[in-house]
A = this chain, B = another copy of it.
Amino acid sequence: MESAQESPSTRKSARESLSERAYRDLKAQILENRLSVGRQYMEQEIAERLDMSRTPTREALIRLANEGLVEIRPRHGMRIKPISRDDMREIYEVLTSLESQAAALAARRSLSKAEIDAMRRAVADMDAALKDDDLESWAEADERFHRLLVEYSDNRRLIALVGTFIDQSHRVRMITLRMRPRPTDSNQDHRAVVEAIARGDADEARRVHRTHREKSGRMLIDLLATHGMTEI
């Protein structure tokens, strides 16, 4: 897959359809929280915002609805789906399951030194970021770690699914990033996962990662509860 990334305004983007662009732009706007959650947007409105007709807009909306980011309500337009505490529970239950499976699969394959090193580097970067109290960097490295782990599963469906649910919960994670306690033992967990994978110990990798995700999921949901946030 060639990534011909040009400035979209000047360069008539080679072969990307409007429908595709609508999907990517809209998704980006949602993830960056540039659209008000809960508010209704008419198809026409979205289409104008994207500077195209309703047809490709609708096609993008269908895809986004399938991914659970958006809800299409027949006579009321679409709205960004707010994430409730219960949604977060569901999302984390699914992520826990899929990612711990990914850890086991990664352990079963014998990863190259380079692949293991990439994960170790992510963990090291998290340590460093934590030492500097740089939450931004920590979040970046954390995301990188999880992405690598899942990629090493060698299962395209698994990779796509995890991506979908990471996206669904993205907003919540960003918002709660500054409310949560310093993720010290999170790093501990990650290290244990990497080492289990390096040893090829699938059961241990799965177990440790599951425990890790269960813990962080519970923490996040408690956080929402104590701050009285019911929908984000």
Complex CA–CA separation, A67 to B160 (angstroms): 11
Complex CA–CA separation, A94 to B63 (angstroms): 22
Structural contact, B90 and A101, CB atoms closer than 8 A:
no
A69 CB, nearest partner CB in chain B, Å: 12
Copy total for this chain:
2
Structural contact, B101 and A161, CB atoms closer than 8 A:
no
Structural contact, A105 and B90, CB atoms closer than 8 A:
no
Complex CA–CA separation, A62 to B105 (angstroms): 31
Size band of the interface chain A makes with B: 20 to 34
- Chain B CB within 8 A of A85 CB: no
> What does DSSP make chain A's interface, helix, strand, loop or mixed?
helix
- Chain B CB within 8 A of A178 CB: no
Structural contact, A101 and B96, CB atoms closer than 8 A:
yes
Residues of B within 8 A of A93 (CB): 101, 105, 153, 155, 157-158
Interface members, chain A 55-103 (any B CB < 8 Å): 55, 58-59, 62-63, 66-68, 74, 89-91, 93-94, 96-98, 100-101
For A59, give its contact among B58, B91, B97, B158 (CB under 8 Å). Answer: B58
Complex CA–CA separation, A157 to B91 (angstroms): 7
- Chain B CB within 8 A of A14 CB: yes
Interface members, chain A 93-136 (any B CB < 8 Å): 93-94, 96-98, 100-101, 105
- Chain B CB within 8 A of A156 CB: yes
Residues of B within 8 A of A14 (CB): 74
